[in-house]
Amino acid sequence: MPPADVPDDVLTTPFTDHLLRNARADRPAFTCRTFPGPTDHTLTWPQVLARVRGVARELRRVTRPGDRVAIVARQDLGYVLAFLGTLYAGRVAVPLSVPAGRTGRARIESAFADATPAACLTSAEFRDQVPPATVLVLEDIEDDDAEPPAAVAMTDPAYLQYTSGSTRRPAGAVISHRALVASCWQTTRCYHAGASTPLAGWVPFFHDMGLVLLIGTPVFLGSRSVFFTPMEFVRDPLRWIRLLAELPGVVSAAPDFAFGLAAEAVSGLEAVDLSQVNALLNGSEPVRADTVEAFAAAFARFGLPRAAQKPAYGLAEATVFVTSAGDEGPTITAFDGEPRVSVGRPYGQRIRVVDQEIQVAGPNVADGYWGRDDVLAPGGWLRTGDLGFVHDGQLYVTGRLKDLIIVDGRNHHPQDIEATVEAAHPSVRRAAAFGVRDGRGEGVAVVAGCTAPDASVETAVRRAVSAGHDLPLRALWLVRPGEVPRTSSGKVSRAAARERWWGENGRHD
């Protein structure tokens, strides 16, 4: 599957050069939308540069080149300035979430212990909640009109992208300046995006998809980014749809579950025009055929082109982008009677499948994990740990290598079992399936969110899995819908589900 190569001039132009170029024109750059309202807070490109220079000045005062700088801030304009200011100063950014809840605090502490940041850029409300470091409060930093950008090599680290931890403890993928611009180019080439293409959404900035699409790509293109917080999406999924209708030619992205939530909420949508939506990337977690169809059906009457949906595949270790559907939109193909959604073709990188494992090579691949000596991409090929195959030139992802369940010598992909469980009864929501081992050998266990758990639901689920996969469930837990563990990016965390409901020596009730 040979794609076009990323041009040399892209790979040799520092990311901050794009920021300097953009500041020559007084155009809107980043807009943070808040609720209720909505109310838009916008910075133009010259304003962005002045504030980025202020951040860089303060960082140079308390850190040295190569130091890591943690970003623990609200998803607002301050986060954008913190990330860009860190790169402008020639330091290594560590984008993180806010310290909300036990899981959020644990992730931050883990990242701090791994990256050992010399400073932390944070919102005023979190100044006393971050681990020990030199704390710089974003609201206190004044603009600067003269601070120059750092001279960096394209191979220097730009930031550490901590993985979501769906199968293991989060690790910091080292993303170089070269990998960042390569990923931005790959994204824009796939979706025919230019300076007039708005980028919009709510995916968190500490996640690779949100960081590259909503901060990196607008700088690379000189286009506009409009965003709000993930929590505001959860409160009303139609806020995302209304935003898309406001921005002709928009490119946006979200995980599969978000498309499902928006489709379920469509009855509350007033008349809007979605006919000019350019691309909606569906990635970050397995793309389901029923989600694609439900979303297309829900918004067709508002003019949304079916081809606007772009099932995609990426991972932190590849900066984010690997493959995507193109102008043709979603392709759904039945294999052994089961519908699977293609995640498209590569743009500016190469893929291959070796022993069912997807491997990626290209300038967007991370250099390794921070603080580790192991080679991330031996021979230039990144082993993704994801399973898949190529059919008619398109990639299909079938599961995770570490999640693969082997019972009596047969391979079972957990997402197939999860789909069966979720279709077994109307009260079942998202499920997590994982392999277990006890005195009877290998087996399968499931944790499923359920709105009305009772014996009839359990019977329906067990029968469906037995009939569809010839597997008796070793254990089944029906829990409240919000209790099925997820990673920071919204993926079902099978590892966390196994750890919580199944111990090393057997079942833990």
Across 137-163, average pLDDT: 96
Residue 374: predicted pLDDT: 73
| pLDDT over 90 at 34, yes or no | yes
Whether the pLDDT of residue 505 is over 50: the answer is: no
Name the DSSP class of 216. I
DSSP per residue over 146-174, as a string? -PPPP---TTSEEEEEE---SSSS--EEE
Of 404, 419, 444, 428, residue with least CA distance to 478: 428
pLDDT at residue number 449: 94
* 343-371 average pLDDT score: 93
- 508 has a pLDDT exceeding 80: no
Query: Which domains can be identified in the chain, with CATH numbers?
Result: 8-399 (3.40.50.12780), 405-507 (3.30.300.30)
Mean pLDDT of the chain: 91
Report residue 167's pLDDT band, with 50, 70 and 90 as the boundaries. Answer: very low
- Mean pLDDT value of segment 5-30: 96
Residue 2 pLDDT > 70, yes or no? no
Phi, psi of 365 (to 5 degrees): -75, 135
**What average pLDDT does range 119-129 have in this prediction?**
94
pLDDT of residue 102 exceeding 80, the answer is no
Nearest to 349 by CA among 311, 377, 387: 377
Token code pair at residue 104: 């959020």
Q: How confident is the model at residue 336 (pLDDT cuts 50, 70, 90)?
A: confident
Q: Is the pLDDT of residue 509 over 50?
A: no
Closest CA to 357 of 323, 395, 319, 393: 395
Whole-number pLDDT of residue 455: 92
Least confident of 177-181, 311-315, 372-376: 372-376
Q: Report whether pLDDT(504) > 50.
A: no
Would you state the torsion angle of the CA atoms of residues 324, 329, 330, 332, taken in this order, to the nearest 10 degrees? -120
pLDDT for 1 equals: 42
Residue 169 confidence class, pLDDT cut points 50, 70, 90 = low
Rounded Cα distance, 142 and 384, in Å: 42
As a whole number of angstroms, the distance between CA 410 and CA 57 comes to 59
How many residues make up the chain in this entry?
A: 509
Mean pLDDT calculated for residue range 363-388: 88
Range 205-218 average pLDDT? 96
Residue 28 pLDDT > 50: yes
Looking from the CA of 335 toward its CB, the CA atoms found within 13 Å total 15
What is residue 503's predicted lDDT score, i.e. its pLDDT? Answer: 67
* Residues pairing with 254 in the sheet: 282
Pairing, β 321-324 against β 309-314: antiparallel
Mean pLDDT across the stretch 204-222? 96
Alpha-carbon gap, residue 475 to 508, rounded angstroms? 10
Nearest to 359 by CA among 370, 369, 371, 346: 346
**What are 232-277's pLDDT values in tens digits?**
999 999 999 999 999 999 999 999 989 999 999 999 999 999 999 9
pLDDT tens digits for range 71-95 = 999 999 999 999 999 999 999 999 9
Return the pLDDT at 164.
Answer: 61
Torsion angle, CA of 215/376/67/126, rounded to 10 degrees?
A: 50
Is there a contact between 6 and 348 (Cβ–Cβ < 8 Å)?
A: yes
* Residue of higher predicted confidence among 59 and 104: 59
- For 100, other C-beta atoms within 10 Å of its C-beta total 12
